[in-house]
Amino acid sequence: MKRLSIILLLVLSGIACAGVEYREFANPEQQEAYENLTSELRCLVCQNQTIADSNAELAADLRRQVYEMLQQGKSKQDIAQFMTDRYGDFVLYNPPFKLKTGLLWIGPVVFLLIGLIAVFLFARRKKTAATVEMTAEKQQKIRSLLEKGD
Least separation in angstroms between CB 94 and other proteins: 17
Q: Which is nearer to other proteins, 33 or 44 (CB)?
A: 44
CB of 100 closer than 8 Å to CB of 106: no
Q: Which is nearer to other proteins, 6 or 112 (CB)?
A: 112
Least separation in angstroms between CB 60 and other proteins: 9
CB of 43 closer than 8 Å to CB of 54: yes
CB-based burial of residue 1 (10 Å sphere; 0-12 exposed, 13-18 middle, 19+ buried)? Answer: exposed
Q: What CA–CA distances, in Å, run from 2 to 6, 9, 16, 129?
A: 6, 11, 21, 64
DSSP 8-state code for residue 73: T
Q: Which is nearer to other proteins, 103 or 142 (CB)?
A: 103
Least separation in angstroms between CB 65 and other proteins: 6
Q: Which long-range contacts (CB under 8 A, 24 or more apart) does 12-19 make?
A: 19/55
Q: Which is nearer to other proteins, 90 or 93 (CB)?
A: 90
Least separation in angstroms between CB 41 and other proteins: 12
Q: Which residues are near other proteins by CB under 8 A? A: 44-45, 47, 57-58, 61-62, 65, 84-88, 90
